[in-house]
Structure 1
Amino acid sequence: MAQLNDEQIESLYKFTRQHFVEHYDLQTELVDHMANGIEQQWQKFPVLTFEQARDLEFKKFGVFGFMEVVEQRQKAMNKKYTRMVWNHFKNYMKVPKIAAFAASILVTFIILKFTSFSEGFLLGAICTCALIYVAFLLYRSRQIKSHRMVSDKKWMLEDIIFSQGALAGLALIPLHFYNIFSDLSSINAGWILALSLFICSLYLFLYIITIEIPKRAEEYLEATYPEYKMSQ
């Protein structure tokens, strides 16, 4: 049975890029699928040219071409990333990390409930954390850009891990509490405790997606893509 040569394989990679598949992991999967299909076409119809067999295989993907495959992979990777974040968060609910988390809630509660500068503290803490968060986002953005100067391959999970700029606004959510409540010390203790829990959970979540997971990105990418390490 006739097989594709290296030039034809590279041509298939180019073909996937021309049809808006930008991530190398999905390109490779589609190239393997199309290569097998083309070789089967040649087995049945040896007179077909490479381009004819390729176009016949591409038609099997329907009117929208590769777009449905891309959307399905994005959904799958987003689910994988969500599980990753949740697993990290759950680790902080176990001993000994939960002790530090509980202590941060208690400290926040005491400051908000019993100090005379609660509102000023809340505003300053939120703004400081937000600035730190944005600074780390910029740092991570530069990090991935420098990485791509070495390797031109894009990986879908890598993009998800390092592309969390849209969540920067979450760091400012607690500011709305500052605008709503003019005197936090006069509010029921139960509500202050709930607010403290929310604030600490929010910033723990932001810490996980901004620092902790990106720090282990190589580990996650190598586990997801066996070919990732070889491509670096």
Structure 2
Amino acid sequence: MKLDEFQINELYKFTQKHYVDWYDVQTELVDHLANGIEVQLEQNSNLTFESALNAEFKKFGVTGFSDVIEEKTKALNKKYRLLVWKYFKDFFKLPKIILTLFLVWIYFELFQLMPNKNWIVIPTFATLFVAPTVFFIHMTKQIRKTEQLTNKKWLFDSINLQLGGLVHILSIGLYSGVFFESINSWPIYLQAVFSIISVLFGMIIYISVFIVSPKLRRQMAKQHPEYKFV
């Protein structure tokens, strides 16, 4: 027998009661619970909906739905990072590799021209730190608007906000100051390495913010009609 709309809504309430706040995770759990309950009711018509639900929930063990949330979080983070890596690799294939090499060469030449290397190093780290921060602030506002509009929270938005975990590379900027005092005495090979790293770092930020995040939001909207990103 198929569960009716009221029972499906009860399953959503049940998952929320057990600390699952994200609608995308709730939907997966509701589908799983509903299938299990329907099988039980087919096998035993005297069984009540509540009894079947409790029996299904016990299958998740003492941790309840927490393991599901953890696995879902890992899967979304991995999907995000793999997509970033996919687009990142494209910049090392023709014709985009020409642009990559050109950007590195331009940056290295600017590095050579600066009498005080901090004039380019400090703005570089500032830009690479500020860009994701602006994205974070903007996305946070948009997510709040979406939650108010739909009355739903999405784990996807939380993952997207953290750039699939890549946001933690921002900590690099916090420790960059140790290089500033000696940077003017760096040999050319270190300046070349710094130029390469700076350009690659910038590419990762660009790909994450302007390519991967919008692409995943469009995919999310297709998979979940309820998802309405403002």
TM-score band, normalised by shorter chain: 0.7 to 0.9
TM (normalized to structure 1)? 0.84
Alignment of 1:197-216 (within 5 A): 197-216=196-215
2: CA distance, partners of 1:218 / 1:177: 33
RMSD of Structure 2 on Structure 1 (CA): 2.6
Deviations 1:70-105 (A, max 9, x none): 222222222111111101211222333322222221
Deviations 1:126-169 (A, max 9, x none): 22442333222211221222222222333333331123497556
- CA spacing shift, 1:125–1:35, aligned 2, 3 Å: closer
Query: Which residue of the partner structure matches residue 35 of structure 2?
Result: 36
Query: Which residue of the partner structure matches residue 126 of structure 1?
Result: 125
Aligned amino acid, residue 159 of structure 1? S
- For the 8 Å contact 1:22–1:154, the answer to whether it is kept is yes
- For the 8 Å contact 1:41–1:53, the answer to whether it is kept is yes
Consecutive unaligned residues in structure 2, runs of 5 or more:
none
**In percent, how many aligned pairs have the same letter?**
32
Residue range with higher mean Cα deviation, 204-213 or 194-203: 204-213
Residue range with higher mean Cα deviation, 94-103 or 62-71: 94-103
Aligned amino acid, residue 20 of structure 2? V
- For the 8 Å contact 1:130–1:168, the answer to whether it is kept is no
- CA spacing shift, 1:175–1:19, aligned 2, 3 Å: closer
Give the CA deviation at 1:9. Answer: 0.8
Aligned amino acid, residue 229 of structure 1? P
Alignment of 1:24-173 (within 5 A): 24-164=23-163, 170-171=169-170, 173=172
- For the 8 Å contact 2:124–2:198, the answer to whether it is kept is no
- For the 8 Å contact 2:22–2:155, the answer to whether it is kept is yes
- CA spacing shift, 1:57–1:5, aligned 2, 3 Å: same
Match of 1:229 among 192, 203, 225: 225
2: CA distance, partners of 1:153 / 1:103: 45
Aligned residue for 1:38, secondary structure, equals: helix
- For the 8 Å contact 2:81–2:164, the answer to whether it is kept is no
Alignment of 1:13-32 (within 5 A): 13-32=12-31
- For the 8 Å contact 2:117–2:184, the answer to whether it is kept is yes
- CA spacing shift, 1:229–1:96, aligned 2, 3 Å: farther
Residue range with higher mean Cα deviation, 158-167 or 54-63: 158-167
2: CA distance, partners of 1:40 / 1:230: 27
- Count of residues paired in the alignment: 228
- For the 8 Å contact 1:171–1:206, the answer to whether it is kept is no
TM (normalized to structure 2)? 0.85
Give the CA deviation at 1:197. Answer: 0.7
- CA spacing shift, 1:124–1:34, aligned 2, 3 Å: closer
Consecutive unaligned residues in structure 1, runs of 5 or more:
none
- For the 8 Å contact 1:114–1:185, the answer to whether it is kept is no
Aligned residue for 1:229, secondary structure, equals: coil
1: CA distance, partners of 2:37 / 2:171: 53
